[in-house]
Chain A
Amino acid sequence: MQRIGVFVCWCGSNIAGTVDVQAVSDALQNEPGVVFSTNYQYMCSQAGQDIIKNAIAEHKLTGIVVCSCSPRMHEATFRKTAAAAGLNPYMVEIANIREQCSWVHKDMPTGTEKAIILGKAAVAKVNLNAPLKPGESPVTKRALVIGGGIAGIQTALDIAEAGFPVDIVEKKPTIGGKMAQLDKTFPTLDCAACILTPKMVDVAQNENIRIFSYSEIEEVGGFVGNFDVKIRKKARFVNEDICTGCGICTEKCPQKKVPNEFNLGMDNRRAIYIPFAQAVPKVATIDADYCTMLKTGKCGVCSKVCTAGAIDYTQKDEIIEEKYGAIVAATGFNPISMDKFDEYAYNQSKDVITSLEFERLTNAAGPSAGKLVRPSDGKHPHTIVFVQCVGSRCSACAEKGKEYCSKICCMYTAKHAMLTRDKYPDTDVYVFYIDVRTPGKAFDEFYRRAVEEYGVHYIKGMVGKVSPEGDKLMVQASDILANKQLHIEADLVVLAAAIEPDKSARPLATQLTASMDTNDFFTEAHPKLRPVESPTAGVFLSGTCQGPKDIPETVSQASAAAAKVIGLLAKDKLTGNPCVAGSDELMCNGCSSCERVCPYGAITYVDKEFRMPDRTTRVRRVASVNEAVCQGCGACTVACPSGAMDLKGFATKQIIAEVDAICR
């Protein structure tokens, strides 16, 4: 039996004005378990807290009920008071008789009666309280960033700057991501490489950062503060520590016909290659799918020309195991495939290209050395049609496109159109749009300039069909403002393809037990208030893996994610919320209902041996809650059919005791 003390606060006249506090403390005196009951003007004052402390000592109280203002106001205060007097802080319950009683009711008798009932409910609950102790777990002071694009780079740099070691895992041979492929950036038109590559060098030179390029996540275990990660470092057949990146091998390799993915297949590279001049790490990689030596055992040219002796045809995939305190997903995006968009003739004509391909075409390091030419015949295009929202905002044709707005296309198309007109004033540029979306600093001004200063023809309407005729592309489109059909003879058509999360995100989310939406974007812990955290504790989100974003937004979110990681790694220990779920193994059916509703992946299953009454041993599958991960929502307790799952601090019996007290 508990020994409960009841402390009724007047809160000056805030409570005492509508509630007869003496009557409340007198009535609660007679409740089961109550051994002491009093009232005082300001319970939260030093003098009031002393009354509580003294009563705990004098009456050997095992639990206390404070009838006062909202627990949101002073629950923490009274828990500290209890702790100072040697009582477990979770043996304190608050009856909210101010905000939820005296302040909303006018009549003294009914207000008093309600206050007594609320007090009785709190007493009934405390009678069933048990001391709770928050769990503690250590924090591994190292972060893992998955993805080495601008998001991952920024996050890693910020974390490293704060003094914590960071590993970047990038599946490609170099970091840099999509931004490295871009030409200029909106709305300032500075060149992407000029602002990105210094950051890449910073990453390479930062002592706190390790780069695992050409590597993928193999396995993730553990939980916040204590992740165990296995990283597969794919064999690149070049010793990274020895390779100087001189590039001789990439010039001498006789296998010249490998589609160059960095230029989106618009030109070729060798079987041994460095993706681009500023790659980090600047080491060569052998593409095993094309290397004659690896495929037939005959060649070995790269090995012969390499003065450093870095080529190693026997290299194998390597598994690296490391512990991390926090993980950041920065897996980025890709433009969607244009295969399903036959109406734009993407697969029929080389001169129908995506916007990312256009970036490469206009990039000085691109396949045409920056000269805007038609991929088919290398001629200068005189009429260019840009098509917006290809696969974006695509509810009617959800099968081939995406329902969401890809967010970046309006701005980069304005950029493409403007740059084209700037460099080649003899070119006619048409942009077909559903509407132009330019919210962002200096964005609308930028778009207005394209229209007003550069004379880009913006036409509200969609392109219905692109048909190659001779060396021309016949574009059929509607101008819905002028209400007429247009036929444009174009030389080049550029499709603003929707963007989608990288394909590696879904399996990664499964490994991280992080949740995703139907579009495979990572879900935030809270869409407004916790936008860079995933619901899984210790997993953070950076960049477009969370949703479409431009570079400024990506970088701010990357830094925000870094701030969250730093906040976590700065702690030596994580103190958990003690109000967590727990399963009674004897009653657990192992049915997985709780696991399916848990938003945090806190529940796993183990096969456990049970001694039966007849002295045999049986193995059953039972749920096990990771208290460091559980946030205490209680969804599992209701999903559980047998009632094996319960929530500390809000146990079924406690809530039912409150119900009974109120309905008594």
Chain B
Amino acid sequence: MQKVTCDTLAAKACELLENGTVDRVLGWKNGEFVYDVTPALFTTTDDIKSEFVFNDFCGANFSKYLIEETRKTESKVLVFLKPCDTYSFNQLLTEHRFDREKVYAVGIPCEGMADITKVKAAAGDGITAIKAEGENLVISTLYDEDKAVACADVLAERCMVCKSKKHVAYDELLGEDGDVIDSNRFDEVEKLEAMTEDERFAFWQNELSRCIRCNACRDVCPACTCEKCVFDNPESSVANKAISDSFEEKMFHIIRAFHVAGRCTDCGECSRVCPQNIPLHLLNRKFIKDINSFYGEYQAGAEAGSRAPLVDYTTEDIEPTDAVLKGASDNA
């Protein structure tokens, strides 16, 4: 259950449109299904009143959309940012990817988003309606009676290990700001590190071999904003699009994770959109964990303008051989 209501957001959007602060609004509207909330651009108050939604399925991080939006016109666009989205927002600013002057950022609190896979597992298929009631979601389906599930039980993985309820960038805040949380988001990475090489290989072989190279993880990633992605560029020598061998997915996912290493804010969008449910965040988090342990704590996007670890160094950095040993406990 979100503390800030859809009506509050919609009213704010209408207000800013009407007083001319912005002329378009990045928000959410319903898709094919009630849980299939999709990003949308609103330009009129009528559209907002009829279509704008905000509920437990509004996971989408809008930061990346700002690159295109701010290039369109000279006027401002309104964007709603959950705490984790503000980190991506800052990171993109650091990389000069959009013009801050053309954005009006409204920070909104977030109680964590629901994972539809978990909801379906709890309530069954054929969902026709989902209503938030207190700490529960009441789910209506085609086949069964309404069922109530606790929000906490269907929380998305990334929200269970939420790293921050604090907004690191905004023009205006709706509701109250929270704090940075000392989360246990590296627990799963540590479990993998504790395995043997063979076990890890088996784990990832199983996960990555499901990849269908749909590129959804890349397309949604707010760090993957290249004008032309290396995977789309035949000149880059890595642009194979079809999957014909198990190596392809590994290469794709290693390069993708490496490209965003030190820039990934751990927003978790890659795993959210993966149609094959591959835990891609475990690759990104490995880099984040290694960066923290090798070079000191670094949270991408916490500060606009900060120097990413891979474009920085100290003369006393850890040697790669030692890094590998430090990075996995079975090497000890």
Given known contacts A589-B95, A618-B71, is B228 in contact with A653 (CB within 8 Å)?
no
B283 → A minimal CB distance (Å): 16
Q: Which chain B residues lie closer than 8 Å to A620 at the CB level?
A: 71, 227
**Contact (Cβ within 8 A) A653 B235:** yes
Q: Which residue of B lies closest to A622 (CB)?
A: B227
Q: Is B230 an interface residue (CB 8 A)?
A: yes
Q: Which residue of B lies closest to A639 (CB)?
A: B311
A38 and B263 CA atoms in complex are apart in Å by: 52
Q: Is B210 an interface residue (CB 8 A)?
A: no
**Contact (Cβ within 8 A) A587 B228:** yes
Interchain CB contact (< 8 A) of B227 among A588, A653, A656: A588
Q: Is B259 an interface residue (CB 8 A)?
A: yes
Interface centre among B227, B259, B307 (most CB of A within 10 A): B227
Q: Which chain A residues lie closer than 8 Å to B225 at the CB level?
A: 589
Interchain CB contact (< 8 A) of A587 among B233, B237, B259, B311: B233
Q: Which residue of A lies closest to B262 (CB)?
A: A593
Given known contacts A589-B225, A591-B97, A593-B311, is B71 in contact with A642 (CB within 8 Å)?
no
Query: Interface residue count for A (Cβ, 8 Å)?
Result: 22
A261 and B95 CA atoms in complex are apart in Å by: 46
Q: Is B310 an interface residue (CB 8 A)?
A: yes
A558-590 near B? 1/0 per residue, CB < 8 Å: 000000000000000000000000000011111
Q: Which chain A residues lie closer than 8 Å to B311 at the CB level?
A: 593, 596-597, 639
Q: Which residue of A lies closest to B67 (CB)?
A: A589
B256 → A minimal CB distance (Å): 10
A592 and B226 CA atoms in complex are apart in Å by: 13
A653 and B308 CA atoms in complex are apart in Å by: 27
A51 → B minimal CB distance (Å): 35
Q: Is B198 an interface residue (CB 8 A)?
A: no
Q: Which chain A residues lie closer than 8 Å to B229 at the CB level?
A: 642
Interface centre among A588, A605, A641, A643 (most CB of B within 10 A): A641
**Contact (Cβ within 8 A) A653 B96:** no
Given known contacts A586-B227, A639-B310, A642-B226, is B96 in contact with A621 (CB within 8 Å)?
yes
Q: Is A652 an interface residue (CB 8 A)?
A: yes
Q: Which residue of B lies closest to A655 (CB)?
A: B237
Question: Within B29-52, which residues are at the interface with A (CB < 8 Å)?
Answer: none
Q: Which chain B residues lie closer than 8 Å to A588 at the CB level?
A: 227
A214 → B minimal CB distance (Å): 36
**Contact (Cβ within 8 A) B227 A641:** no
Q: Which residue of B lies closest to A660 (CB)?
A: B237
Question: Within B89-128, which residues are at the interface with A (CB < 8 Å)?
Answer: 94-97
Q: Which residue of A lies closest to B261 (CB)?
A: A641
Question: Within B300-332, which residues are at the interface with A (CB < 8 Å)?
Answer: 307-308, 310-312
**Contact (Cβ within 8 A) B96 A590:** yes
**Contact (Cβ within 8 A) A596 B307:** yes
**Contact (Cβ within 8 A) A656 B228:** no
A586 and B225 CA atoms in complex are apart in Å by: 14
Q: Is B236 an interface residue (CB 8 A)?
A: yes
Q: Which chain A residues lie closer than 8 Å to B235 at the CB level?
A: 643, 653
Given known contacts A642-B229, A642-B230, is B96 in contact with A592 (CB within 8 Å)?
yes
Question: Within B279-309, which residues are at the interface with A (CB < 8 Å)?
Answer: 307-308
**Contact (Cβ within 8 A) B95 A642:** no
Interface centre among A597, A643, A656 (most CB of B within 10 A): A643
A597 → B minimal CB distance (Å): 5
Q: Which residue of B lies closest to A638 (CB)?
A: B310
**Contact (Cβ within 8 A) B227 A589:** yes
A587 and B229 CA atoms in complex are apart in Å by: 8
**Contact (Cβ within 8 A) A591 B96:** yes
Q: Which chain A residues lie closer than 8 Å to B236 at the CB level?
A: 643, 652
A124 → B minimal CB distance (Å): 13
Q: Which residue of A lies closest to B259 (CB)?
A: A641
A521 → B minimal CB distance (Å): 14
Interface residues, chain B, with chain A CB atoms under 8 Å away = 71, 94-97, 225-230, 233, 235-237, 259-260, 263, 307-308, 310-312
**5 A-B pairs with least C-beta separation:** A642-B226, A591-B95, A596-B311, A587-B228, A656-B237
With A589-B227, A596-B307 known, 14 other A-B pairs at CB within 8 A are: A586-B227, A587-B226, A589-B226, A590-B95, A593-B95, A596-B312, A641-B259, A642-B230, A643-B233, A643-B235, A644-B227, A652-B236, A652-B237, A656-B237
Jot down 16 A-B pairs with beta carbons below 8 A, ordered by A: A587-B228, A589-B226, A590-B96, A591-B95, A592-B96, A593-B308, A593-B311, A596-B307, A596-B311, A596-B312, A597-B311, A642-B227, A642-B230, A643-B230, A643-B236, A644-B227
